[in-house]
Amino acid sequence: MKLQLFIPLLSVIAVSCGPFPHQVMQEVTGDIPYNEVVKAPETFRGSTVLWGGVIVDTVTRSNDTLIIVRETKLDLRKRPMNTDRSAGRFIIRHQGFLDPAIYSREREVTVVGMIAGKEERPVGELLYSYPVIEPRSLKLWEQWTDPPYWYDPWYRDPFPYPWLTPPRPIRR
């Protein structure tokens, strides 16, 4: 009886811990791969996707902010993983102002949004065609930080008591 109550409770907790509201996640149109959208973005216009990656640049304009993102795969929490591999780039076009100091280079971001077409922008000397996403929900992930020091809780000082320490050699 307890097991029958535990399993549904566990599944409710697991579903409710996502970074996006349940309503927003229901709008996602299946699993539309990035590679297919790049080939023909106009055929997927209006579809809602869940993509993520690492911010390459943030451009503020008078009415909106463009976040240029290097696409990566997402883990179970919908956080970008394996950030050294990418199929390409996309643009998140957010209506309004987002601070470039916060949405800065190398930050991880995940977006649920509608495909709004494509935009061509230069990458070096190459004219690159970016799929454009209008966000429904945007998640900027906290930066990974290392602890200030590492402490091994199982480490034991070989001489924890001063009266048990070995004698020092006498120098003459």
For the ranges 17-21, 45-49, 81-85, which has the lowest average pLDDT?
17-21
pLDDT higher than threshold 90 for residue 86: no
Summarised one tens digit per residue, pLDDT across range 100-116 is 999 999 999 999 999 99
Which carries the bigger pLDDT value, residue 131 or residue 4?
131
Q: What percent of the chain is predicted at pLDDT more than 70?
A: 70
Q: What CATH architecture is 21-143? A: Beta Barrel (2.40)
pLDDT higher than threshold 90 for residue 92: yes
Of 7-21, 54-68, 141-155, the range with the highest mean pLDDT is 54-68
Mean of pLDDT over the chain: 81
Query: How far is the C-alpha of 51 from the C-alpha of 48, rounded, in Å?
Result: 10
